[in-house]
Amino acid sequence: MKKVLFLALLVSLVGSGLAAEYTFYVVSHGGPGDPFWGVVMKGMQDAADLLSKGTGDTIKATYLGPAVYSVAELVNMLNSAIAARPHGIVCTITDPTALDEPLRRAIGLGIPVIAINVPDPRPAGERIPYLFYVGGDEYLSGIKAAEKMLAVKKPTRAVVFIHEVGHVGLELRAKGFIEVMSAAGVPAEKLAIGIDPTLAVDIIRGYFAKYPDTDAIFTLGPLGTLPTVTFLKEQGLAGKVMLGCFDLDEVTLKAIEDGIALFTVTQQQYLQGYLPIIWLYLYNKYGFLPANDILTGPGFVDSSNVAQVEQLIKQGYW
């Protein structure tokens, strides 16, 4: 009896030495109720499960995000995560100034940090020294969107509808788009339309009355897509004006299905939960590091994959 117990103890000790346990935290500004971040969470969990099953190790990943947007709450959650001394932290750099101290402290304690969704925009020497960034590139998204439109047809006139003036991400998207269009010789500008759809439609109408040759529109999110699609349908311009959208929502997807919109730009946020977990494991275990940031966006959804994407949305992947 004693021999059996001793053997069992030996085996479990050896076994625990052979099988490692890794704990990772994903701390983000997105609340648990937000469907966008729900996809990120799924990516995170799928990666952890995959690794646990595929290797002999146990990988545990936890998502932390405030129910209501609050940078202060984000910092609190980050501090709690750091206190738990995990093997890695994944964090959205929503407010580089507020997150600077805690993240540098974590890195100083030897906890590897990967940034997702929002990078630290400061130059290499100044920014938070996280390992790398996984996420979309707003400026590049605008560029690629314009290129995609130009590949179909060079428009006579293009306009970007911005629904929240001053929003850094939106402004970058607009900038990329306008620069490419202008370089191709297409007159392009921004038009502020606001978030109220009734007013937005009237503003769009006024613009088209002034520039009836406008035949390319780029919207920067569902709040811009809704009034645009409504306007095009009401005025019978659907299909005559090229429309590129941003982000996925039912209205946008239906517009692509119906042929009103050419495409929508996505940042494939599933990857923002999935890839950092894989990489943190590889880094911890073998010291591997990618040579550059990993861009999960711009990705595109258009008529070629919209049906598939709709299915995947239901399953939680998009």
Instruction: Tell me which residues touch another protein (CB under 8 A).
Output: 31, 33-36, 38, 67-68, 165, 190-192, 195-199, 201-203, 205-207, 209-210, 222-223, 226-227, 230, 234, 249-251, 254
CA distance 301 to 276: 23
β-bridge mates for residue 229, sequence order: none
Task: Closer to another protein by CB, 222 or 316: give it.
Answer: 222
Task: Closer to another protein by CB, 111 or 309: give it.
Answer: 309
3-state DSSP assignment of residue 50: helix
Q: CB 18: neighbour CB atoms within 10 A?
A: 9
Rg (CA), the chain: 23
CB of 234 to another protein, least distance (A): 7
CB of 199 to another protein, least distance (A): 6
DSSP H helices in 19-95: 35-54, 71-83
CA distance 237 to 113: 48
**Under 8 Å CB-to-CB from 17, ≥6 apart: which residues?**
none
**Under 8 Å CB-to-CB from 256, ≥6 apart: which residues?**
245, 262, 263, 264, 301, 302, 303, 306
Q: Decide if 129 contacts 107 (C-beta within 8 A).
A: yes
Task: Closer to another protein by CB, 39 or 106: give it.
Answer: 39
Task: Closer to another protein by CB, 105 or 233: give it.
Answer: 233
Task: Say which residue the tokens 């943190």 belong to.
Answer: 280
Task: Closer to another protein by CB, 162 or 172: give it.
Answer: 162
Task: Closer to another protein by CB, 10 or 195: give it.
Answer: 195
CB of 228 to another protein, least distance (A): 11
CB of 122 to another protein, least distance (A): 27
CB of 198 to another protein, least distance (A): 5
CB of 299 to another protein, least distance (A): 19
CA distance 242 to 167: 24
